[in-house]
Amino acid sequence: MGKNVVVLGTQWGDEGKGKIVDLLTDQAAAVVRYQGGHNAGHTLVVGGEKTVLHLIPSGILRQNVLNL
The yes-or-no answer on residue 14 being catalytic is yes
Active-site option among 14, 22, 26, 54: 14
Q: Which helix (H) or strand (E) holds 20?
A: helix 17-25
Question: Which of 62, 64, 16, 63 is closest to 43 using CA atoms?
Answer: 16
The yes-or-no answer on residue 54 being catalytic is no
Give 30's contacts (C-beta < 8 A, 6+ positions apart): 59, 65, 66, 67, 68
Supply the residues annotated as catalytic. Answer: 14, 42
